């Protein structure tokens, strides 16, 4: 099914565009965009980041893409290609705000005009390398906990922390899905207690405890790169992961992006900010997967959520 982005000038939705993070990567995800005018962005991203992005998007296998640094630059570029094509094909669409989940926040900053493509690509490359190095030196783990609200999961986490375990709430993705991060021992131990509480539990296929204090060394390394980067005023508000508040451009993003690596992703709160404070009347998930459209529907069932995952003239998949 497809839905036109704008029916008329009087009834045009006010879109919040959402950009995905690491985890949505898949082999061949660049193929739909290869014949588009936007494909020229791939060379720019490759040059700025130091990765062969065309190879990652077209020929890399799942094992190659599962590496943190490869996954991040690949998802960033695929989402950027989708955004570029959306603006070409849907120039009348009323995009009034953007947000990105974790890594996706960098794509959102480029879309908002806060970062240039080159600076965004360089930062994503530095971020991915720093996180991969931390995961190598101090492996961690993550798990999705479903069936309970964030307060229930936070209480479970607090119980472990009182016992001295390394465990934290990492992402609040939907009203009934919270991701936790910490040591492998703590993540494995939490499974049985989650089951006892009637919660569903799924260990994620990652080797890092993202959005937790385990990422402090990566945060420090990224901070040095952020301090060398120009953050422009931008043309759209970006709702930040760390505080779920709308921010325009400027050097404040050095601090926000530094904190993001070690802080909870407040995704449900961010969706509420987009809808209630910025008056967005529809969500549009840009890039691979369509996961964020699903999360938006669960968080705000009355707000339409669409996805744009491949070139399609004047329409998006509903």
72 close to 32: Cβ distance less than 8 angstroms = no
Q: How close are the terminal C-alpha atoms of the chain, in Å?
A: 6
102 backbone φψ class: left, alpha, beta (φ>0; ψ -120 to 50)? left
Residue 174 phi, psi (nearest 5)? -155, 170
Tell me how many degrees the CA angle 132-137-139 measures, rounded to the nearest 5: 75
CA 192 to the chain's CA centroid? 29
How far, in Å, are 80, 101, 252, 281 from residue 273 at the CA level? 23, 14, 19, 12
Residue 22 phi, psi (nearest 5)? -60, 140
Annotated catalytic residues are 102, 211
75 HSE (CA, 13 A, CB side):
32
Q: How far apart are CA 39 and CA 31, in angstroms?
A: 10
65 backbone φψ class: left, alpha, beta (φ>0; ψ -120 to 50)? alpha
Burial class (CB in 10 A: 0-12, 13-18, 19+), 276: exposed
β partners of residue 181: 142, 168
> In terms of Cα–Cα distance, which of 158, 99, 96 is closest to 296?
99
Q: How far apart are CA 304 and CA 318, in angstroms?
A: 9
Q: How far apart are CA 217 and CA 86, in angstroms?
A: 37
């Amino acid at each position: 099914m497809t839905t036109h982005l704008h029916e008329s000038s009087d009834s045009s939705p006010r879109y919040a565009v959402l950009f995905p993070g690491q985890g949505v990567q898949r082999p061949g995800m660049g193929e739909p965009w290869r014949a588009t005018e936007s494909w020229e962005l791939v060379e720019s991203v490759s040059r700025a980041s130091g990765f062969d992005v065309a190879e990652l998007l077209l020929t890399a296998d799942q094992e190659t893409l599962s590496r943190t640094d490869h996954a991040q630059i690949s998802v960033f570029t695929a989402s950027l290609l989708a955004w570029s094509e959306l603006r070409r094909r849907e120039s009348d669409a009323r995009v009034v705000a953007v947000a990105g989940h974790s890594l996706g926040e960098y794509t959102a900053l480029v879309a908002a005009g806060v970062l240039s493509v080159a600076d965004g690509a360089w930062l994503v490359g530095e971020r991915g390398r720093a996180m991969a190095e931390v995961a190598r030196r101090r492996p961690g783990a993550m798990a999705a906990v479903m069936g309970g609200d964030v307060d229930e999961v936070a209480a479970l986490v607090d119980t472990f922390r009182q016992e001295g375990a390394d465990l934290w709430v990492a992402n609040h993705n939907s009203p009934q899905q919270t991701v936790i991060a910490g040591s492998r021992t703590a993540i494995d131990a939490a499974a049985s207690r989650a089951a006892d509480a009637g919660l569903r539990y799924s260990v994620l296929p990652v080797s890092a405890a993202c959005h937790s204090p385990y990422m402090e060394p990566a945060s420090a390394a990224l901070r040095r790169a952020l301090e060398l980067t120009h953050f422009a005023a931008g043309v759209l508000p970006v709702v930040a992961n760390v505080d779920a508040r709308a921010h325009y451009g400027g050097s404040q993003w050095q601090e926000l992006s530094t904190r993001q690596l070690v802080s909870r992703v407040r995704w449900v709160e961010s969706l509420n900010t987009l809808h209630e404070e910025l008056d967005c009347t529809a969500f549009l998930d840009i890039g691979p997967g369509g996961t964020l459209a699903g999360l938006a529907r669960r968080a705000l069932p009355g707000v339409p959520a669409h996805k744009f995952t491949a070139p399609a003239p004047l329409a998006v998949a509903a």
